Amino acid sequence: MPGDGAVVIDVHSHYVPAGWPDLGEGQPWLRVDSEREAMIMVGATEFRPVRPNAWDAGVRLADMDDDGVTRQVVSPTPLFFGYELPGARAAKVARIFNDLALEICQPSQGRLLPFAQVPLQDTDAACRELDRCRESGHLGVEIGNHVGDRDLDDEGVVTFLQHAASIGMPVFVHPWDMPTSPRLDRWMARWLTGMPAETHLSVLAMILGGAFDRLPDSLRICFAHGGGSFAFWLGRLENAWHRRGDLIAKSQLPPSAYVGRFSVDSVVFEPSALRLLVDTLGASQVILGSDYPYPLGERPVGQVVHRSDSLSDHDRAAILHGNAERFLGLP
Q: Which residues bind Co ion (CB under 5 A)?
A: 291
Nearer to Co ion, 129 or 291 (CB): 291
Secondary structure (DSSP) of 41-59: EETTEEEEEE-GGGT-HHH
Q: What is the DSSP string of 242-280?
A: HH-HHHH--SSS-GGGGGGG-EEE---SSHHHHHHHHHH
- In the complex, what is the shortest distance from the CB of residue 265 to Co ion, in angstroms, rounded to a whole number? 9
Task: Please say which residue, 220 or 225, places its beta carbon nearer to Co ion.
Answer: 225
Minimum Å distance from CB 217 to Co ion?
26
CB closer to Co ion, 151 vs 291: 291
CA dist., res. 206 & res. 98, Å (int): 27
Q: Please tell me whether the peptide bond between 255 and the residue prior to it is cis, using omega within 30 degrees of 0.
A: no
Minimal distance, residue 267 CB to Co ion, in Å: 8
Q: Cβ(305)–Cβ(313) under 8 Å?
A: no
**Least distance (Å) between residue 249 CB and Co ion:** 32
Find the largest Cα–Cα distance for the chain.
59
Q: Which CB, 101 or 208, lies closer to Co ion?
A: 101
- Please, how many CA atoms are within 13 Å of residue 57, restricted to the half-sphere of its CB? 17
Contact, 175 vs 145, CB < 8 A?
yes
What's the min distance (Å) between Cβ of 294 and Co ion? 7
- CB–CB of 175/152 below 8 Å? no
Min. distance of Cβ 142 from Co ion in angstroms? Answer: 9
CB of 310 to Co ion, least distance (A): 25
Torsion of CA 139, 141, 142, 148, to 10 degrees: 180
Cα gap 138→105, rounded to integer Å: 10
Q: Using CB positions, name the residue nearest to Co ion.
A: 291
Nearer to Co ion, 77 or 251 (CB): 77
Q: Is 232 exposed, middle or buried (0-12, 13-18, 19+ CB in 10 A)?
A: middle
Specify the residue, 247 or 296, whose C-beta has the smaller distance to Co ion.
Answer: 296
